[in-house]
Chains A and B, each alone.
Chain A
Amino acid sequence: MPNEAKNPPPEQGENPFAAKAHSLKRRDKTVSILLGVATYFILVCTAYIFLDIALKGIPVVFQTEAPFVNVEFFTKSPETLMTFETEEGDFFKMNFSDYSQFKRDNPEVNIVDEHSHAYSGGGIFGPLVGTALLTAICIVVALAVGLTTAIFLNEYATKGRFMDTVRLAIMNLAGVPSIVFGLFGLGLFCMVAPVITDTPMDRALFTVPIIFTDNYLSFEGWGTCMLAGGFTLAVMILPVVITACEESLKAIPMGFREASLALGATKWQTIKKSVLPYAFPGMLTASILGITRVAGETAPIMFTAALAHKDELPWESAGSIGGFFSQSVQAMPYHIYTVAARIPQSEYTKPMQYGSVFVFMVVVMSFAALSIFLRIRYRKKLKW
C-alpha cells in the first residue's frame, strides 16, 4: 500500500517549503484504507466460518488418547443414537445396535427417560464411501468425454461460425443451476436411460429386442442409483471441464504444433507428443477443480443417487458388477443436509453434525488447495 506507507505530511509551519497536506491525499488515503477494510472483512468472515466449524468439529474427530483419532467415527455408518437413564440415575449414550445388545445383556435394568436421535450415532464411513464412488464415476465419465471434446474442438474442428456457436452454448451451460441438472438427470438417467434386461418394465419409453438373445434393450432408466448420480454430476461439470481443457490446449503456442508437423509427424503424433504433455498440468488442475465442485454438490444427487440411510456398504449388498453400480448410496453432502435440517435437533445431534461438516470441509478444501497450489506452481514453471 504505497499511500499508507508514506509518512504523514509535516505540519504547517514546521517546514514552509513542504507540500500542503492536500485534502486529495487525505481522501485517497481514507478510500484505500476503506478498500482494504472491505477486503479483509471478507477474509475475516471466511476465517470465522472455518474456525467455528473446526473448533466444534475437531473434538469429535480427534481425541486426547491414542490413537488420537476417533476411529469409530471413520469406520461406522450413521445410525440412531440412543440416550437413556437407568433407574439408578446412571446416564448412557450408545448406538442403537449397542443399545439392543445392552438390553439383551442386562434384562434386569430398568430403563427410563429414553430418547432416540436419528442419524446421530455411529460414524460417517458410508457417506464418505458413497461420495468417493460418485466422484470417481463422475470424473471418469466427465474427463473421458470432456477431454476428447476439448481436443476435437481445439485441434481438429475447423474454425467457423458453427463451432463458435457450439462453444458459446457449452459456456452458457456452465452457468445453469445444479438443481436443473438434477432434474435432467432424473428425467434421463433415472427414467429413460437404456438397460439390458429380459423383463422390460411397463414404464419403459420403448424397448428394442436384441437379436439372438432373449434380452431387450429397454429404455426404462437406471432408477435412483450411483451410476445415475455419477452421470448427472458428470454432465453438470462437463461444460466446465471442456472449457478448462480447451483453455489449457489453447495456451500451448502454435509453434509447438507447427514444428512437429514440419518434422513429418502425423496429426495424432503431434497431439500426443507435443501438445498433450504440455497441456497436462492445466487439465489436471481442471479435473481436481471438478472434483472439488462435484464432491460438494447436493442438489443433483438428491433425487438421482443419494439415500439418507443404508445399513450395508455398497460392496456388501452388491450381487454383481451391475448390481454394484445400480444401488443408491449415502453421500456426505446429503448426509449433512439430513442431519442439519431433517432431524429434530438436540445436544446429542451436534457432534455428528459438526464432525461430518468438519471432515467434509477438510476433504473438499484439500482438493481445492491442491488445485490452487498446482496452478500456481505450473504457471511459474511453464513459460514460453
Chain B
Amino acid sequence: MSQTEADQQAGGEKTGKEIFKRKGFQLFGLGRQDVIRYFFGGNASLAIVILILICIFLAREAIMFFPDHHAGLKSYRKGGQELVGYVIEEVDAHTKFYSNANIAYFAEVNRTSEKEDGLLRAYRSGLAGVEQVTNKTWDRLDRKIDAAEDLVDDIEDLVADDEGELNEKTKLERKLVGLEKWVESLRSDLKGQVLSAVELDPIWVGVGIPRLSVQERSMLREAVLFEAYPDAEDEHESIQELKRVSREKKATAAEGLVEFKATVKAMQDAVRPLKSLQSEMIAIASENRREIDKFSTAPARRAALMAGAEKTGDPEEKARLLVRADEVEIVEPDYVKLNEPLYALVPKHQELVATLEVEMGRLFQELPDSVETESAKVSLGRAEVFYRRFQDKLNLARAEMLVWHHDDSLSIVGSTSAFVLGRNWITNSSWHDFYGLLPLFTGSFLISIIALVVAVPFSIAAAIYVNQLAGPRQQQFIKPAIEFIGAIPSVVLGFFGILVFGEALRAVSQISWLEWVPGFPMAERLTILNAGLLLAFMAVPTIFTLTEDALDNVPKAFTENSIAMGATQLQTVFRVIVPTAVSGVIAAILLGFGRIIGETMVVLLVAGNKIKIPDFTEGLGVVAQPAHTMTGIIAQELGEVDNGSLHWRALFMVGMVLFIISLLVNFAAQRTLKRFQKV
C-alpha cells in the first residue's frame, strides 16, 4: 500500500540540496505527509465503519423479527388458536393447584412412615451404588456361565452323537475346566468388589436419606450384601419387614385422611369435562392452522415450482412443473367459517367453567386447615396461592373469551409486548411457536444478581485490603494473582462447574445442618446458584481492578489529613477514602455486571438450560432451580435454525437486547465516573 511506498521514499532525504528538483513524493497531488495522514485516517475510519456495521447487521436481522412475529401472532389469532390458548391456560392453572394439593396429601400419608421410607431409600441408593461398581463383573460372569452351559450342552451332544469323537470331547472338557476356573475367579472378584463397595460412604447419602445410625447402617449393609451377592431371589428379611411396616403405617395414616383423599380425587375429576373440551378445541384449531399455513406458503411453493420449470432443460419436465405450479391454489381461507365451530363451543365452555369454579371453591374449602408435616403445610400454602391464581385466570379467561374475535386487529405494541413480556419461549412446537423474552431475561438477571451479591463484597474487600492494608510484598503477589483469574477462559470455568463444582455444591447442600439455607438440599447439579457463584468468580478481577484503581486515585492528602486528625487507619479507609472513590466503585460494579450478563459459556454449560420462568413461590430457594439465559439460548439454538427464519431473527433480537443492555451499563458506568469526578 501507500505506506510501503512512503517508506521507500523515506530513504532518500535530499530535500534542500537541489532546489529545482521536483518536490519529493507525490500521489494524486498529495505530499508524503498527507498520504501517511490519510492512510492512518483511512484505517481509523475503517475501524469505525466496522463498529457501525456491527450495529447495522444486528439491527437488520433483529428489526425484521418484528413483522414476522406480528404475522405469526396474527395467524395464531385468525385460526382461533388464541381462543383455545385461554382454555389451555385454565387447565394449566388447575393442574398447578391440584398437584400441590396432591403433594400435600402424600406428604401427610407418608408422615408416619418417614423413617422406614428413608431407610428404604438409603437401601436402594446403596444397592444402586454397589451395582454400579459390580455390574461389569456381573456381565462378564454371566457371559462365562452362559458359555460354560453351552459347552456342557455341546459335550452332551457329542456323547449322544458319536462316541468316536473322544478327542474333541477332551478338548471341550479342558476348555470347560478353564471356564469354570474363570467363573471361580470372577466370583471371588465380585465378592471382593461388593465387600469394598458397600463400605463406600457416598453411596449412603442422597436426597431424602436421613443420617444413618451405626446400627441402621450395619443392618442396611447386610441387606445390600444379601441382595448384591450372591444374587438372592428375595430381598433380605429386614428390608421386607421395613417395606411391610411402611405399607401398614401408610395405610393407617391414609385411613385418617379419607376425606382429604376424596377431596383431592374430586379435584382431579372436576376438570375432566374441561379437559375434553380443550382437546376438542385443539383439534379444530390445529386444523385451522394447517389451512392458514397452506395459504401463506402457497405463493412461495408456486414460485419455487416456476423457478424449477425455468431452470430445467427438459420440456416435458417443464410442462409438468408448470402444471403443478398452476395447481397450487392461492385462496385465502374463510376465517369466519374456520372459527365457527370454536365460537359454537364458547357457551359450553362458559357453562363448564361456571360449574368448575363452584366445585373447586367447595373443594378448596374442604382441604384440611391443619396438617401435621411441615412439607404438607408448605404445599398447602402454595396450593392456596395457586388457587387464587386459578380463580383469577378463570375470571380473566372467561371474560376474554366472550369478547374475543378472530378478526380483532393486533397492534405493533401488542406483538412487541408479546416478545418483551412473553412468558413462553417455545420453538419447534406443533401448536404455535412462542418467542417470549421473559424466561430468558429472568434467568440472566437472577444469575447476575447472585453473582454480584457474592462478588461485590469479596472484590471490594480485596481491593481495600490490597490498596490500604497490605504491605508492598503482599501487593506485588495478590494483584497479579487476582488479575490472573481474568485470563481463565470461561469455557474452562464452565467445565469445572459441570464436573467438579456442581457435584461439590450438591454434596454440600445435602449436609443435614445446612438445611436452613434456602433451596437446600438441591436435587440438581446444574442450577442458577452454581452458575451465579462461578460468574461471581469471573467478575472478581474486573470489579477488583477497577475498585483498586479508584482507591489508588484518591489524593494522598486526604489520607494524610485524616490520619493527622487522629482517625485510625480503618476510619480513614471507610469514612474518607471509600466515600471519595465511591464513583469509581459504582462504575466498577456496573462494569462487573456488564461482564456477567454477557458471559456465555459458563451459563450455557452450568445453568441447566431449562427454558422456564423459575418458580418464585419457593422464595429464595429459587436459586436451586435450573434456568436458561439470553446468551445461552443464542449459543445453543443459533447453530440449528435456518437462516432468515423467524426463530433465527428472534435469536438476533435477543442479541440486540443484550447489546443494548451492555451499552446502557457501560454508558451508566461512564456517566457515574464523570458526575462524581466533578464534585
A contacts, CB < 8 Å to B: 1-3, 24-25, 27-28, 31-32, 34-36, 38-39, 41-43, 45-46, 49, 52-53, 85, 87, 89, 112-113, 144-146, 148-149, 151-153, 155-157, 166, 168-184, 186-188, 191-192, 203, 235, 238-239, 242, 266-269, 292-293, 295-299, 302-303, 333, 336-337, 340-341, 353, 357, 360-361, 364-365, 367-369, 372, 376
Which of B10, B48, B496, B662 is the one whose CB lies under 8 Å from A53?
A: B496
Give the residue name and chain of the A residue nearest to B597 (CB).
Answer: A177
The stretch of B123-131, B215-223, B313-321, B454-462 that contacts the partner chain: B454-462
A153/B6 contact (C-beta < 8 A), A41-B458, A298-B600 known: no
A186/B568 contact (C-beta < 8 A), A175-B662, A238-B47 known: no
Q: Which residues, 656 to 672 on B, are CB-close (under 8 Å) to A?
A: 658-659, 662-663, 665-667, 670
The stretch of B287-295, B398-406, B466-474 that contacts the partner chain: B466-474
B43 interface residue, CB < 8 Å from A?
A: yes
A187/B140 contact (C-beta < 8 A), A157-B44, A242-B47, A302-B639 known: no
Q: Mark B390-420, 1 if CB is under 8 A from A, else 0.
A: 0000000000000000000000000000000
Q: When the two chains form their complex, are residues B478 and A176 in contact, meaning their CB atoms are under 8 A apart?
A: no
The stretch of B65-73, B80-88, B325-333, B479-487 that contacts the partner chain: B479-487
> In the complex, what residues of A have CB within 8 A of residue B481's CB?
43, 46
A145 to B494, CA, bound (A): 32
Q: When the two chains form their complex, are residues A177 and B598 in contact, meaning their CB atoms are under 8 A apart?
A: yes
Q: When the two chains form their complex, are residues B44 and A152 in contact, meaning their CB atoms are under 8 A apart?
A: yes
| New contact pairs (12) apart from A34-B461, A184-B58, A295-B489, CB-CB < 8 Å | A28-B571, A35-B461, A42-B462, A46-B482, A46-B484, A176-B663, A179-B655, A183-B638, A238-B51, A298-B491, A337-B604, A361-B488
A360 to B488, CA, bound (A): 10
Ranked nearest first, the 7 interchain pairs of A and B with the lowest CB-CB distance are: A177-B598, A296-B489, A368-B487, A148-B43, A38-B461, A152-B40, A152-B44
B499 interface residue, CB < 8 Å from A?
A: yes
Q: When the two chains form their complex, are residues A333 and B499 in contact, meaning their CB atoms are under 8 A apart?
A: no
Q: When the two chains form their complex, are residues B47 and A336 in contact, meaning their CB atoms are under 8 A apart?
A: no
Give the residue name and chain of the B residue nearest to A272 (CB).
Answer: B10
A175/B540 contact (C-beta < 8 A), A340-B499, A357-B492 known: no
Task: State the Cβ distance, B41 to closest chain A Cβ, in Å.
Answer: 5
Most buried by A among B51, B60, B500: B51
Q: When the two chains form their complex, are residues B47 and A149 in contact, meaning their CB atoms are under 8 A apart?
A: yes
Q: When the two chains form their complex, are residues A171 and B670 in contact, meaning their CB atoms are under 8 A apart?
A: yes
Q: When the two chains form their complex, are residues B457 and A175 in contact, meaning their CB atoms are under 8 A apart?
A: no
A184/B57 contact (C-beta < 8 A), A53-B496, A152-B40, A175-B594 known: yes
Q: When the two chains form their complex, are residues B492 and A361 in contact, meaning their CB atoms are under 8 A apart?
A: yes
Task: State the Cβ distance, A178 to closest chain B Cβ, in Å.
Answer: 6
A184 to B655, CA, bound (A): 9
Q: When the two chains form their complex, are residues A337 and B44 in contact, meaning their CB atoms are under 8 A apart?
A: no
> In the complex, what residues of A have CB within 8 A of residue B462's CB?
35, 38-39, 42
Q: Does more than half of chain B's interface fall in helix, strand or loop, or is it mixed?
A: helix
Task: State the Cβ distance, B395 to closest chain A Cβ, in Å.
Answer: 42
- Return 30 A-B CB contacts under 8 Å, by A number: A24-B568, A25-B568, A32-B570, A38-B465, A45-B537, A46-B484, A46-B485, A52-B500, A53-B496, A113-B140, A145-B43, A145-B46, A149-B46, A172-B666, A172-B670, A175-B662, A176-B598, A179-B655, A181-B54, A183-B58, A238-B47, A242-B47, A267-B33, A299-B635, A337-B494, A340-B494, A340-B495, A353-B495, A353-B499, A372-B480
A274 to B50, CA, bound (A): 30
B75 interface residue, CB < 8 Å from A?
A: no
B322 interface residue, CB < 8 Å from A?
A: no
Q: When the two chains form their complex, are residues A152 and B489 in contact, meaning their CB atoms are under 8 A apart?
A: no
B605 interface residue, CB < 8 Å from A?
A: yes
Task: State the Cβ distance, A268 to closest chain B Cβ, in Å.
Answer: 5
A156 to B38, CA, bound (A): 9
Q: Does more than half of chain A's interface fall in helix, strand or loop, or is it mixed?
A: helix
B431 interface residue, CB < 8 Å from A?
A: no
> In the complex, what residues of B have CB within 8 A of residue A267's CB?
33, 36-37
B116 interface residue, CB < 8 Å from A?
A: no
Q: When the two chains form their complex, are residues B54 and A166 in contact, meaning their CB atoms are under 8 A apart?
A: no
> In the complex, what residues of A have CB within 8 A of residue B461's CB?
34-35, 38-39
Q: When the two chains form their complex, are residues B635 and A179 in contact, meaning their CB atoms are under 8 A apart?
A: yes
A3 to B471, CA, bound (A): 11
> In the complex, what residues of A have CB within 8 A of residue B667's CB?
172
Task: State the Cβ distance, B443 to closest chain A Cβ, in Å.
Answer: 15
A155 to B569, CA, bound (A): 44
Q: When the two chains form their complex, are residues B655 and A183 in contact, meaning their CB atoms are under 8 A apart?
A: yes
Which of B147, B487, B499 is the one whose CB lies under 8 Å from A296?
A: B487
Q: When the two chains form their complex, are residues A340 and B54 in contact, meaning their CB atoms are under 8 A apart?
A: no
A112/B143 contact (C-beta < 8 A), A24-B568, A28-B570, A302-B639 known: yes
B631 interface residue, CB < 8 Å from A?
A: yes
Q: When the two chains form their complex, are residues A179 and B47 in contact, meaning their CB atoms are under 8 A apart?
A: no
> In the complex, what residues of B have CB within 8 A of residue A368's CB?
484, 486-487
A235 to B49, CA, bound (A): 11
A179/B631 contact (C-beta < 8 A), A156-B37, A365-B487 known: yes
Q: When the two chains form their complex, are residues B666 and A175 in contact, meaning their CB atoms are under 8 A apart?
A: yes
> In the complex, what residues of A have CB within 8 A of residue B491's CB?
296, 298, 333, 336-337, 340
Give the residue name and chain of the B residue nearest to A172 (CB).
Answer: B666
Which of A169, A180, A292, A357 is the one whose CB lies under 8 Å from B495?
A: A357
Q: When the two chains form their complex, are residues B658 and A180 in contact, meaning their CB atoms are under 8 A apart?
A: yes
Which of B36, B57, B182, B489 is the one whose CB lies under 8 Å from A297?
A: B489
> In the complex, what residues of B have CB within 8 A of residue A353's CB?
495, 499
Q: When the two chains form their complex, are residues A87 and B147 in contact, meaning their CB atoms are under 8 A apart?
A: yes
Q: When the two chains form their complex, are residues A369 and B484 in contact, meaning their CB atoms are under 8 A apart?
A: yes
> In the complex, what residues of B have CB within 8 A of residue A156's CB?
37, 40-41
A298 to B484, CA, bound (A): 19
B552 interface residue, CB < 8 Å from A?
A: no
Give the residue name and chain of the B residue nearest to A170 (CB).
Answer: B51
B643 interface residue, CB < 8 Å from A?
A: yes
> In the complex, what residues of A have CB within 8 A of residue B46's CB?
145, 149
> In the complex, what residues of B have CB within 8 A of residue A169's CB?
48, 51
A293 to B480, CA, bound (A): 16
Q: When the two chains form their complex, are residues A372 and B483 in contact, meaning their CB atoms are under 8 A apart?
A: yes
A146/B47 contact (C-beta < 8 A), A36-B465, A175-B594, A183-B634 known: yes
Q: When the two chains form their complex, are residues B469 and A340 in contact, meaning their CB atoms are under 8 A apart?
A: no
Q: When the two chains form their complex, are residues B496 and A32 in contact, meaning their CB atoms are under 8 A apart?
A: no
Q: When the two chains form their complex, are residues B495 and A336 in contact, meaning their CB atoms are under 8 A apart?
A: yes
Q: When the two chains form their complex, are residues B639 and A113 in contact, meaning their CB atoms are under 8 A apart?
A: no
B278 interface residue, CB < 8 Å from A?
A: no
Give the residue name and chain of the B residue nearest to A306 (CB).
Answer: B639
Task: State the Cβ distance, A147 to closest chain B Cβ, in Å.
Answer: 8
B207 interface residue, CB < 8 Å from A?
A: no
> In the complex, what residues of B have CB within 8 A of residue A52's CB?
496, 500
Task: State the Cβ distance, A251 to closest chain B Cβ, in Å.
Answer: 15
A46 to B54, CA, bound (A): 35
Task: State the Cβ distance, B431 to closest chain A Cβ, in Å.
Answer: 28
Q: When the two chains form their complex, are residues A303 and B638 in contact, meaning their CB atoms are under 8 A apart?
A: yes
Task: State the Cβ distance, B495 to closest chain A Cβ, in Å.
Answer: 4
> In the complex, what residues of A have CB within 8 A of residue B57's CB?
184, 187-188, 192
A179/B598 contact (C-beta < 8 A), A173-B51, A365-B484, A369-B484 known: yes
Task: State the Cβ distance, B463 to closest chain A Cβ, in Å.
Answer: 9
A43 to B655, CA, bound (A): 34
Q: When the two chains form their complex, are residues A39 and B32 in contact, meaning their CB atoms are under 8 A apart?
A: no
Give the residue name and chain of the B residue nearest to A3 (CB).
Answer: B569
B139 interface residue, CB < 8 Å from A?
A: yes
A191 to B648, CA, bound (A): 14
Most buried by B among A41, A87, A186: A186
A172 to B663, CA, bound (A): 6
Q: When the two chains form their complex, are residues B458 and A42 in contact, meaning their CB atoms are under 8 A apart?
A: yes
A296/B490 contact (C-beta < 8 A), A171-B670, A183-B652, A365-B484 known: yes
B498 interface residue, CB < 8 Å from A?
A: yes
Give the residue name and chain of the A residue nearest to B143 (CB).
Answer: A112
B90 interface residue, CB < 8 Å from A?
A: no
Task: State the Cβ distance, B672 to closest chain A Cβ, in Å.
Answer: 14
A369 to B493, CA, bound (A): 18
